[in-house]
Amino acid sequence: MSLLDLAGFLDIPLSIVHYPNQGRFSCSFKCAEVKEHKEHPILSSEYGNGRFPEMAMKDYVSKIRGKLLVFNATSRYLRREYLVPKNLRAA
């Protein structure tokens, strides 16, 4: 499964932002935090960086593969959690 397939399956926007003054792109899911596993109490904000969008996506995949994505973590009603496949690829 690719990152774009996962975004479509979850119906969650994938954000890719260009920072021309820094010469890089950033990639992440909107409103997403990452947990190591279900029982892990700490959420972290992960994003991928790269000189090109594809490189940013590859970096992001390496940081979220096999972990738990938590969307809208602070909302009692909108919070959702999904385990990212270990075989996730960038493209």
pLDDT 10s digits, 51-91:
999 999 999 999 999 999 999 999 999 999 999 999 999 98
Closest by CA position to 59, among listed 18, 19, 22, 89: 89
pTM of the full predicted structure? 0.92
Partner residues linked to 48 by β-bridges:
27
pLDDT at 65: 96
CA angle 87, 16, 62 (to 5 degrees): 25
User: What does the block give as tokens for 72?
Assistant: 């809208």
Angle among Cα 22, 17, 77 to the nearest 5 degrees reads 135
Question: How many CA atoms does the CB half-sphere of 22 hold within 13 Å?
Answer: 10
Confidence class of residue 24 from pLDDT cuts 50, 70 and 90? very high
Each residue's pLDDT tens digit, 29-62: 999 999 988 888 899 999 999 999 999 999 999 9
